[in-house]
Structure 1
């Protein structure tokens, strides 16, 4: 079988027993690829933190060879590991952007190895070198139509993957959910708890809502480097009785029940590709408040399937949310339109990520 090297731009977790774990969606994707390729997966590694990491796929349970890069800054040893891995592979698939992926792409160009990119975020190019790497890739895959259109300016062989969500969107349970039934409005955030996801903006906006007399609660789900910081801010604002910080929820049913219990989803992120949490919210008919960054405006439409909020502007965000909460019927309609948007999107994007990668690589092999 063809030797395929996949390079991630995240960080794998290593538990106390030395077991390597990765995100479940990434693990399933790699496992599917291993049916057709002799696959190695290279990514930085660190000790697993159960409070901040959503990694529950065991590499040892698959046919995937794992290549570890210590997560302690860039060193000559890391460069040597990347070099050996690139030279021993026949094709390289790179999660982009990322420092390790950039180095691997330049080495691939130097040694004549074919490669492709999975472009996940809006800041995919930072100058001439990045543009060269994108142009020379055999194909590009990305997460939204708007990113696809932007990338097509550099490389015409670009496609969009099907959203990686584990939800039956036609479940009658979610269809029959009635929101805004109680006196208290239940707001939800799911995502990495870090600055770039806008979680500090969210807390400031939520505090303004409470000061304005809005009867609301906020649940924050996700792990990240800023967990202790947001706990401090919650105490500073004296809103401990209004904010629940759940941390990471690894159990899928428990996470979906949190979406189900909420009245609205608030996502004030600063940069994105297209976040899976918006797909999950739409699948639950959950009204969404979101910034329009990265690939989000390619699918989301203000006042139709979401309410647009500004980036890094908690005061205006609070105003938009407060005004919208006064018309629950409109928000219910927005939630239903979000579901309809997702249904139509899935009907027109049927190719799974691993299918598109497999097809792209095999096409390149056929063009030798």
Structure 2
């Protein structure tokens, strides 16, 4: 075993086949081809249906070996089981590459730290926590997305590198067509959970149904609060809000982007969300909070409008402003195109290219 990946998202098992998220699966296969080495993953697995989750990339066992364990129903027992499996896992990899943060990822990073096993980190958040800093400091290298994260991580580990974001679409190619937007629609794509700002969207909808009666709000996603959100919509007669559910097929998701008018993302915390890149690519003016790495790429009144965290009033203000200002919409779209071009047409290496060079230099 030369390369061991510790993913920070679990796997899905459906009818005997194992699946992971598409971007991670594509990355692993690219590394396998570039290095001509089998890739090994360690993570928990849950039984389910491919159609109901983001894990839709089937793992080819000839290329990628998985070491997984079932996730228990009781949280405490699951953590004890994970700890024991990690502790006694036979660890012979030349390099362990850890997708960080995550519970399994953090535990495995500490094992590498304590037993002096070489490891690298792919960081998308939580690097400022006291228990994270020693792990970052000792890593052979750190890869991340966004200048804000890199600037902070550089202070802990100088061997930190930017990668091009792992995305579902080829943003270097121009759109082949655009749809005629017959409806006025505000689009949200993400988890239907509190920390994504979902309740602020619903509170804002109470006002927006009055001030912008011809606009709909479409929520694409699934999550712990989905049933509560559905009940809230019915109880408050929010006929302007549509809870669509998850859409994982990139071709089907594309249709919703192309038919939307505005993109809204009021999250409480993030790395840099892939969906903002997608909204820019599909020429949607973006309204977003400036959390995590978002402020390192997005600029208020340049390529987006900024909203305050946990503020329905801020959402109403900026949505109403943008809906009534066509020239501002076009200005944000134009600058959003420039932002994408600067990121995806730059000389920054892709994740697989950078990792391959780092592994070969060990």
Displacement of 1:39 in angstroms is 1.7
Change in CA separation of 1:86 and 1:216 when aligned onto 2, cut-off 3 Å = farther
Alignment of 1:168-179 (within 5 A): 168-169=170-171, 170-174=173-177
The 3-state SS of whatever aligns with 1:292 is coil
TM-score (normalizing by structure 1): 0.91
Q: Distance in 2 between matches of 1:304 and 1:177?
A: 25
Q: Paired residue for 1:196?
A: 195
Instruction: Tell me the equivalent position of 1:341.
Output: 339
What residue is the counterpart of 1:11 in the other structure? 10
Deviation string, structure 1 residues 267-318 (Cα, Å, up to 9, x no partner) = 0011110110011111112100000000001100000100001110111211
Cα 1:308/1:144, change in 2 over 3 Å: same
User: Aligned residue pairs: how many?
Assistant: 355
Partner residue of 1:304? 302
Rounded to whole Å, the distance in 1 between the matches of 2:266 and 2:6 is: 29
- The aligned counterpart of 2:215 is 216
The unaligned stretches of length 5 or more in structure 1 are none
Distance 1:351 1:207, change over 3 A: same
Q: What is the TM-score when the length of structure 2 is the normalising length?
A: 0.92
- CA-atom RMSD in angstroms: 1.9
Task: Give SS of 2:303's match.
Answer: coil
Task: Tell me the CA shift for residue 50 of structure 1.
Answer: 5.2
- 1:138 alignment counterpart: 140
Q: Take 2:212 and 2:188, find their aligned partners in 1: how far apart are those partners?
A: 21
What are the superposed Cα offsets for residues 233-279 of structure 1, whole Å, 9 maximum, x if unpaired? 1112212x322222121221111111011001000011110110011
| 2:18 matched residue in structure 1 | 20
Partner of 1:113: 117
Classify 1:232/1:203 alpha carbon distance in 2 versus 1 (closer, same or farther; 3 Å). Answer: same
2:71 maps to 71
Deviation for aligned residue 1:78: 2.3
> Is 1:94 matched with 2:109?
no
**SS at 1:95 equivalent:** strand
Partner residue, 1:277: 275
State the SS of the aligned residue for 1:60: coil
Counterpart residue number, 1:227: 226
The SS at the match of 1:202 is helix
Are the equivalent residues in 2 in contact too, given 1:143–1:160 (CA < 8 A)? Answer: yes
Question: Unpaired runs of 5+ in structure 2?
Answer: none
* SS state at 2:264 partner: strand
Rounded to whole Å, the distance in 2 between the matches of 1:84 and 1:360 is 28
> Residue 30 of structure 1 aligns with which residue?
28
Distance in 1, matches of 2:21 and 2:12, equals 9
Preserved contact between residue 87 and residue 111 of structure 1 (Cα < 8 Å): no
Verify the 8 A CA contact 1:188 1:266 in the aligned structure 2.
Answer: yes
- Determine the C-alpha separation between the residues in 1 that align with 2:276 and 2:66: 31
Of 99, 115, 126, the match for 2:129? 126
Paired residues of 1:283 and 1:342 also in contact (CA < 8 A): yes
Q: Deviations over 1:209-233 (max 9, x none)?
A: 1133442101111222221111111
Residues 96-151 of structure 1 deviation map (CA, whole Å, 9 limit, x = unaligned):
11221122112112222100111112x22321x31110100011111111111111
CA contact (8 A) 1:288 1:305 kept: yes
Counterpart-to-counterpart distance in 1, 2:92 and 2:347: 34
Describe the shift of the 1:168–1:110 C-alpha distance in structure 2 as closer, same or farther (beyond 3 A).
Answer: closer
Residue 189 of structure 1 deviates from its aligned partner by: 0.6
CA distance in 2, matches of 1:49, 1:245: 21
The whole-number CA distance in structure 1 between the counterparts of 2:336 and 2:84 is 47
Distance 1:161 1:124, change over 3 A: same
> Secondary structure of 1:10's partner?
coil
Please state if 1:48 is matched with 2:52: no
* Aligned residue in 2 for 1:236: 235
Map 1:349-368 onto structure 2 (within 5 A).
Answer: 349-364=347-362
CA 1:50/1:21 → structure 2, altered by over 3 Å: closer, same or farther? closer
